[in-house]
Amino acid sequence: DSMRSFTIKQYQFGPLDEEKYHENLGRHRFGDTRRKGGYDCLRHYELLANGCIPIVADLDHIPVSVLTTLPRGLLAEARNLYAMPWIDTEEG
């Protein structure tokens, strides 16, 4: 379910907390990102810009005409190497 991550975890940053948001991203190596309003969003790029590898569970289902500058091959490899064992767990 694409809304799972959003509904389980409470978003903790308000509209004036952008600096805290980016600091938080910078403390993590990986970031869970899923389709919410649509696939084409800045969240994937925000993660990359802050040193996080975006783990996109449904990366293979994103149309090739969307997110054309996203390094899909590298993200798929990272997902398969590091994230897939945890994707279907309660914490994933």
**Alpha-carbon distances of 9 from 5, 13, 63, 90, rounded to whole Å:** 6, 12, 27, 12
pLDDT of residue 5: 46
pLDDT tens track for 4-31 = 444 445 568 888 999 998 898 888 888 8
- Structure pTM? 0.69
